[in-house]
A and B are shown apart, each in its own frame.
Chain A
Amino acid sequence: MAYVSIPLYKRTIPQRYKLIGLKCKRCGWINFPPKGICKGCKVSSEFEKVKLSGKGTIYSYTVITAAAAPPEFSKQEKSGGSYVVALIELDEGPRIVAQLVNCKPENVRIGMRVESTIRKIYEDEGVVRYGFKFKPVEESLK
């Protein structure tokens, strides 16, 4: 079984619930998820926390079906038949991997505007793990 322990999951709550990034004090690059050394200048390790807007654009995506899901999601994949995983470019620059909800798989497009929402991601050790998923901004696509 895949494993992210409860304390470990909690420690990463700033990234999982609130989309907190680290802005480099030297070059201004916004690092998300956090890095030891800034991804922009590759020198500085001094950061300030910034809350990301949770708004972004789909850079790429896939619809996962047929046994290609990690076990946390195989129930979800079996019950829904499929789910959408997207690589999203946030307006502040960083890209992230997240599931897309409130959107029919056939309506997903690269370049589509999306925003974050807190959802149940999976359940492990009897504890529901919450985190961000994204949904289309435009009503008509839902």
Chain B
Amino acid sequence: MNILLGEPFRKWCKTMRKVVLLSTGSTKYGRIDVTAREAALTAAKEAVEKAGIENREIQALYISNVFSMTERQGHLGPLIATSLGVPWIPALTIETACASGGTAFREAYANVAAGFYDCVLVVGTEKVSHLDVVTATTYFSYGSDYQFEAVNGASFPGLYAAMARAHMHQYGTTEEQMASVAVKNHENALHNPKAHFHKKITVEDVLKSRVIASPLKLYDCCPFSDGASAAIVASEEFAKKYTDTLIYVMGSGRATSPAALFDRENMASIPATNLAMNQALKQAKLSRKEIDFLEVHDCFTIAEIMAIEDLGFCEKGEGGKISDEGVTARDGEIPVNPSGGLKAKGHPVGATGVGQINEVYEQLMGEAGKRQVEGAMTALTHNIGATGGTCSLHIFRRGD
């Protein structure tokens, strides 16, 4: 932790350039009938159009994708760059399991901040609906410590279920409290035209849904989704040529936790979240109170509860209680996942982290329609890989 916040970090904070989120784009999440590469183009096209730039102004391409091999396609970089009409720019794919989108964004951000590029495109894309549930579950479990976790029978929902059970045991969190997270996120997604699910549910529905890995039930889980999201990241100087409304990237935090759950001291917490949050807050010179809403990684309801605790928006162990009390509702004290979250907006793995940033863009621009968080100026995205092995976190602020 001290290493992450030490001298190199301070120096970097002092010397880097200001970076702007110029625009975003996204496909609808859910089941799509095109390849990951085609979905990426749709999202990228929207982002480029919104930014008002020409494709040839894009200087580098960061792709976030995890499962394209299941479509028998790797090496997406040149394919997407070619389709975008820029078959010369450096392009690469970044993979940190479900946090790939946030991580790709971070690499884009760091390169612009360092002065390497002025305008880059980040695009997260995923297509998994061609896989049956057992195959998808298998591929997903490769994000954990496969040899020692999955090989002993623990799937992804199984690992999060063990975290949930530990949380319930240590802090008294209840299944009803977890259910309230799903109910809220489904409610928010009703107003998100690009969400996977548009279905209102009740606490009763969650409690009665079939058990997947106890204590987690169907409605405690995010779905397998397809989809793509894109973002244009630019230097302040470049961005000012295209817009007066500048959304600044104020802080970027990245950390890992021990990969396997069994190597963590407290299984009801994700240490990387706290580490990344401290970096980002310190860099942004902001306090938690100044953040207007959060997009957090709620792959399972318990994950949202752990996230708000590990981010420091409540005491450890209070996450279930404040969720149940409505503190995290869209009109609550700390709105969490106004987009509908992974739970209801959907979780197209590689796209998810960039999709969170798409929500931030729409909210901070005041374009979120019925799910608008009133007066939102500052927002945080929290993207987790697997059971918390990776955390990629960003803080954004509209600069006017």
Residues of chain A touching chain B, judged by Cβ–Cβ distance below 8 Å, are 1-2, 4, 12, 15, 33, 39, 59-74, 76, 83, 85-87, 94-99, 105, 110, 121-122, 131
The answer to whether B150 touches A2, judged by C-beta atoms less than 8 angstroms apart, is yes
Identify 9 new A-B residue pairs, CB closer than 8 A, beyond the known A64-B213, A97-B154.
A2-B141, A2-B142, A65-B210, A68-B212, A83-B153, A85-B158, A85-B162, A87-B267, A97-B149
A-B contacts, 18 listed (Cβ < 8 Å): A2-B142, A60-B165, A62-B213, A62-B216, A64-B154, A64-B157, A64-B161, A68-B137, A70-B137, A71-B138, A72-B151, A87-B166, A87-B262, A94-B262, A95-B261, A96-B152, A97-B260, A131-B151
B147 to chain A, nearest CB (A): 6
Q: Which residue of chain A has its CB nearest to the CB of B217?
A: A66
Residues of A contacting B165 with CB < 8 Å? 60-62, 110
Residues of A contacting B158 with CB < 8 Å? 62, 64, 68-69, 85
Provide the bound-state CA to CA distance between A94 and B153, in Å: 19
Q: Which residue of chain A has its CB nearest to the CB of B264?
A: A95
The answer to whether A97 touches B161, judged by C-beta atoms less than 8 angstroms apart, is no
The answer to whether B169 touches A69, judged by C-beta atoms less than 8 angstroms apart, is no
Task: Please tell me the size bucket of the interface on B.
Answer: 35 or more
A70 touching B214 in the complex, CB below 8 Å, given contacts A1-B138, A39-B263, A60-B169: no
Q: Which 7 A-B pairs have the closest CB atoms?
A: A62-B161, A95-B262, A60-B166, A63-B214, A60-B162, A68-B157, A62-B213
Q: Mark B262-284, 1 if CB is under 8 A from A, else 0.
A: 11000100000000000000000
Chain A CB count within 10 A is highest, among B166, B169, B214, B267, for B214
Provide the bound-state CA to CA distance between A131 and B8, in Å: 45
Q: Which residue of chain A has its CB nearest to the CB of B210?
A: A66
Q: How many A-B residue pairs have CB under 8 A?
A: 127
The answer to whether B261 touches A97, judged by C-beta atoms less than 8 angstroms apart, is yes
- The contact of A64 among B133, B151, B153, by CB within 8 Å, is B153
The answer to whether B134 touches A60, judged by C-beta atoms less than 8 angstroms apart, is no
B302 to chain A, nearest CB (A): 11
B83 in contact (CB, < 8 A) = no
Q: Which residue of chain A has its CB nearest to the CB of B265?
A: A95
The answer to whether A131 touches B152, judged by C-beta atoms less than 8 angstroms apart, is yes
The answer to whether A96 touches B262, judged by C-beta atoms less than 8 angstroms apart, is yes
A95 to chain B, nearest CB (A): 4
Q: Which of B246-263 contact A (CB under 8 A)?
A: 260-263
Provide the bound-state CA to CA distance between A62 and B133, in Å: 19
Chain B CB count within 10 A is highest, among A74, A76, A85, A110, for A85
Provide the bound-state CA to CA distance between A6 and B41, in Å: 42
B135 in contact (CB, < 8 A) = yes
B211 in contact (CB, < 8 A) = yes
B148 in contact (CB, < 8 A) = yes
The answer to whether B262 touches A97, judged by C-beta atoms less than 8 angstroms apart, is yes
- The contact of A4 among B147, B149, B214, by CB within 8 Å, is B147
The answer to whether A74 touches B134, judged by C-beta atoms less than 8 angstroms apart, is yes
A110 touching B169 in the complex, CB below 8 Å, given contacts A60-B162, A68-B157: yes
